[in-house]
Amino acid sequence: MDIPEPLRFLITAGPTREPIDPVRFISNRSSGKMGYALASAAAAAGHSVVLVSGPVAIPVPVDPNIRLVGVETTREMYAAVEARLGEVDVAIMAAAVADWRPVSVRPHKVKKSQQGDWVLHLRKTEDILGSAREPMGFHGLLVGFAAETENLEAYARDKMQRKRCDLMVANDVSQPGIGFDADENEVMVLQADGGIERLPRAAKTVVARELVRIIEGLSRQRRRTQAS
Ligand code: CTP
């Protein structure tokens, strides 16, 4: 049996937050559970993990193989990823990045007495996963997540190609009890070479172990191809 070689992982997890004023922000329902479960599973398998995490309410896994880099905004997550991608073999972008941020952040708390209806002007944030190959120059194994409510496989495959991933983990977020903020997940793992594997509904910790196993296999396969 092959003993997996230790790999260096970077994993993004949780939501990012985009401030509106000093006390308010835009964010999403991500709990960080999937990203944290992946970090735990990779570390338990002997790999080292840099966990780039947005603000979450769950505990950081206690494992000497896990180094936490805490961030808040999408810009901070982008910078943290960019600074560390050169040091890792595998990057898994499991974070639910805020897709838009206010064009301007109000410097003081907006008082209800001074503001009637409040129309926010939002602009797209940086696509961290979509920047990993270019301009960040990452050549390692790149794994993305696709949360969809329809056309799961087609949309996820399109996302995988656009963001130049080796693997795309797709889940149907219209199904109750899986995905966002849930303890369980049920995913379809798409490979860039056309391969597809379905992981049945299970605890995120179980799904995470399976994903680490798939990543180890793909990484071994790559090393063999590069060596021959
Ligand atoms: N992602 C990222 N940076 C962003 C947005 C998304 O790194 N600003 C990553 C997520 O971590 C995840 C994948 O991209 O791995 C999800 O992409 P998603 O936002 O669903 O895809 P888009 O094609 O950008 O959006 P849409 O589904 O709206 O087309």
Q: Which of 73, 85, 127 to mutate to test the pocket of ligand 1 (most atoms within 8 A of CB)?
A: 127
Would you call the peptide bond into 15 cis, given omega within 30 degrees of 0 as the criterion?
Answer: no
Within a 10 A sphere around the Cβ of 177, how many other Cβ atoms? 10
Mean per-residue pLDDT for 35-54? 98
- Ligand 1 within 6 A of 99 CB? yes
Q: CA–CA separation, 221 vs 228, rounded Å?
A: 11
Burial group, residue 121, by CB count within 10 angstroms (0-12, 13-18, 19+): exposed
Measured in Å, residue 222 CA sits from the centre of ligand 1 at: 26
Confidence bin at 6 (pLDDT 50/70/90):
very high
SS3 153: helix
Rg of the chain over CA atoms, in angstroms? 18
pTM of the model: 0.96
pLDDT at 125: 98
pLDDT at 4: 66
Measured in Å, residue 199 CA sits from the centre of ligand 1 at: 21
- Ligand 1 within 6 A of 78 CB? no
Per DSSP bridges, beta strands 66-70 and 48-53 are: parallel
- Ligand 1 within 6 A of 132 CB? no
Q: CA–CA separation, 170 vs 146, rounded Å?
A: 5
Task: Say if residues 106 and 130 touch (Cβ distance below 8 Å).
Answer: no
Task: Say if residues 27 and 98 touch (Cβ distance below 8 Å).
Answer: yes
Angle, in degrees to the nearest 10, between helices 33-44 and 204-227:
50
Mean per-residue pLDDT for 122-145? 98
* Enzyme catalytic residues: 28
For residue 128, the Cα-to-chain-centroid distance in whole angstroms is 9
What are the structural domains of the chain?
8-101+120-227 (3.40.50.10300)
Mean per-residue pLDDT for 81-101? 98
First-last CA distance in the chain: 20
Q: CA–CA separation, 99 vs 115, rounded Å?
A: 25
- Ligand 1 within 6 A of 97 CB? yes
In this predicted structure, the answer to whether residue 106 has a pLDDT above a threshold of 70 is yes
pLDDT at 114: 87
In this predicted structure, the answer to whether residue 5 has a pLDDT above a threshold of 90 is no
Mean per-residue pLDDT for 28-51? 97
- Give 21's strand partners: 24
Measured in Å, residue 174 CA sits from the centre of ligand 1 at: 17
DSSP3 helix / strand / coil % (the chain, rounded to 5): 30, 30, 40
Mean per-residue pLDDT for 178-200? 91
Mean per-residue pLDDT for 169-185? 87
In this predicted structure, the answer to whether residue 1 has a pLDDT above a threshold of 70 is no
Mean per-residue pLDDT for 157-174? 96
Confidence bin at 52 (pLDDT 50/70/90):
very high
Per DSSP bridges, beta strands 122-124 and 24-26 are: unpaired
Measured in Å, residue 117 CA sits from the centre of ligand 1 at: 30
pLDDT at 181: 78
